[in-house]
Amino acid sequence: MTAVGNTPASTPSASTPPSSPPSPPSAFARRDGGTRQLAGTGVLLRFALRRDRVMVPVWVAVTGLMVLSMPNSLRGLYGTAAERADLMRQMNANSSLRALVGPVFDDSLGALTAWRVGVYAGLLAAVMSLLVVIRHTRDEEESGRLEVVASGMVGHRAPLTAALLTAALANGALALLVTGGLAGQGAAGALAFGLGIAGVGMVFATTAAVIAQLTESARLARGLTAGVLGAAFVLRAAGDASTNDGSSFLTWLSPLGWLENERSFADERWWVLLLFVGAALVQGAVAYALAGRRDVGMSFLPTRPGPATGRLATAGALAWRLQRGSVLGWSIGFFLAGVVYGGLTEGAADLVADNEGARQIFERMGGRSGLTDAFLASMIGMLGLIAALYVVGAVLRLHGEETSGRAEPLLANAVGRLRWAAGHLTVAFAGSVWIMLLAGVGFALGYGKEVGPILGACLVQVAGVWVVGGVAVLVHGLAPRAAMAAWGLAGAVLLIGWIGPALDAPQAVLDLSPFGHLPKLPGGEMRWTPVLTLIGLAVVLVATGLAGLRRRDVVVS
């Protein structure tokens, strides 16, 4: 037998036409070619938009309505130019309030709107963007779905591109909504404000894109990006507390500081938009470079290997291990928020003492007690609304474990579905009690008075939080493919509680939220009937959801 390596090359016959030399590989065929790297982006973009058809519209609607409701609210509170000028003077003279919402640059309704909601609209846009990008990049890799997708005609950078385009479309829709809704206050200012909010969103979208390449866990990626966002808020707050014109070096280190220094409706600084563009382009380029240098599922900061012998003996211990980072982050945030709001209580009460409209809003939010108690009750109620977001996210961790395929091998062993779910639900519902308790401790430290009543007021909010969490359990148990709709409920509850009192919404609308039935504490009368009723309703919702989970098939995708 002749060795293969020694086989002589065959000679073409006279009838066989000579073969033409191979053509050079096209840009699409080269692995490092530009077009192949982006192949399939359009399909992935359509898929991402379909998956986010509930979450993104809810975020855009909540953020947009929060902004658009503010001019009418401010008009009712400060109807004359003299009242608005006095508000501007008092706000810029109070360093604590500047740290909370920033300085005021003009006394027009448009400028006051940008001042009052600018920082928080930017925060919501940033959170929406980081969730979208990580969901369609690192989440997909961690679940193994991206590896299956990448085996087809999909470029190496197509998933990242589709994720960033999804975030860009969401932020673009938000910018259009804000610009169109505030155009009556000044077209130039409305355009600058809308673009600024979208710019904050895209900066943190690209930040999330970079961190998604560095980490191996979607949970860690979300945590690190949220940490960057928290640092940006702290830098802006520290800078604004030190100066009343936004000129501090610390303020300029934060994209949220760029948004306020854009000075919408107050002789706009259009060049500040270049900071958003430059930061997004630089971070996007870094993300693309990193994406091209690693394999699917890998990262530049790999997860540390676990111990040789397992240490998690129960499903509850596993749930705590998976969610402890989230609980820690929410705990720190609620404690610090309590300290800040508690420290502002007396100053804020003095600020609105002479404004009947502001007094009425605080009374609608916090009850018709003294103004200080009404302010405390309204701020505690706001933290209760935000805690509803925590409980939904913690409950839907069940959905994430199930759809990623990690729950199926666990349930194939001796762990039953109810034991598995009970671990995550314990973290979710007990965690909501814990973070509200820490918020109460923060309020007590910041305010320095009424420790017992403040802690009681915070714990009363748990009943409303549990109802929202119960609905999330119900949807996951009975209709798992619609589980993300629970975010829509949380957004609606937040919208009703945040904007309803400012717009003087009818009581029937406020009662659509479970928080609308809670007693207004501190200062108001404690009523146990609605609290116990809401807790009972939450128990029924959870039990029904668990019954559905026990009877249905496990969802893998």
pLDDT tens, per residue, the chain with 557 residues: 344 444 444 444 444 444 444 444 333 333 445 567 777 788 889 988 888 888 888 889 888 988 998 888 888 777 788 888 887 887 787 776 787 788 889 889 999 999 888 888 999 999 999 999 998 888 888 777 777 776 777 777 888 899 999 999 999 999 999 999 999 999 999 999 999 999 999 999 999 999 988 887 777 888 888 889 888 988 898 888 888 888 889 999 999 999 999 999 998 999 999 999 999 999 999 999 988 777 665 666 666 666 666 677 788 888 888 888 888 888 988 998 888 888 777 666 665 555 555 555 555 555 555 667 777 888 888 899 989 989 998 999 898 888 777 888 888 888 888 999 999 999 999 999 999 999 999 988 888 777 888 999 999 999 999 999 999 999 999 988 888 888 888 888 887 887 777 666 677 878 888 998 898 888 778 889 999 999 999 999 999 999 999 888 887 65
pLDDT at 364: 53
pLDDT at 365: 53
Sign of the C-alpha dihedral, residues 201, 202, 207, 212?
positive
pLDDT at 198: 96
The structural domains of the chain, with segments of one domain joined by +, span: 38-301, 314-557
- Measure CA of the first residue to CA of the last residue in the chain; give whole Å: 54
pLDDT at 35: 61
Cβ atoms of 66 and 495 within 8 Å: the answer is: yes
pLDDT at 195: 96
Distance, in Å, from the CA atom of 388 to the CA atom of 369, rounded to the nearest integer, reads: 26
pLDDT at 145: 75
Residue 407: name the closest of 467, 322, 344, 346 by CA. 322
CA 151 and chain centroid, separation:
32
Q: Please, what is the Cα angle at 319 between 318 and 321, to 5 degrees? A: 65
Distance, in Å, from the CA atom of 461 to the CA atom of 477, rounded to the nearest integer, reads: 25
Within a 13 Å sphere around the CA of 475, how many CA atoms are in the beta-carbon half?
19
Look at the chain and count its residues. Answer: 557
Q: In whole angstroms, how large is the CA radius of gyration of the chain? A: 27
pLDDT at 531: 93
Amino acid of residue 452: G
pLDDT at 480: 87
Cβ atoms of 322 and 215 within 8 Å: the answer is: no
**215 DSSP assignment:** B
Q: Which residues of 489-521 are buried (b: 16+ CB within 10 A; e: fewer)?
A: bbbbbbbbbbbbbbeeeeeeebeebbbbbbbbb
Beta bridge partners of 462: none
In this structure, what are the phi and psi dihedrals at residue 404, rounded to the nearest 5 degrees? -80, -10
Q: Give the pair of three-digit tokens for residue 506.
A: 């009818």
Question: Cis (ω within 30 of 0) for the bond into 522?
Answer: yes
pLDDT at 272: 94
pLDDT at 302: 66
pTM of the model: 0.76
Distance, in Å, from the CA atom of 457 to the CA atom of 442, rounded to the nearest integer, reads: 13
Mapped onto helix, strand or coil, the DSSP state of residue 301 is strand
pLDDT at 471: 95
H or E stretch covering 324? helix 315-351
Where do runs of H (alpha helix) occur along 367-450?
Answer: 371-395, 397-403, 407-411, 417-447
DSSP-assigned states of every residue in 338-376: HHHHHHHHHHHHHHTTT-HHHHHHHHHHH-SS-HHHHHH
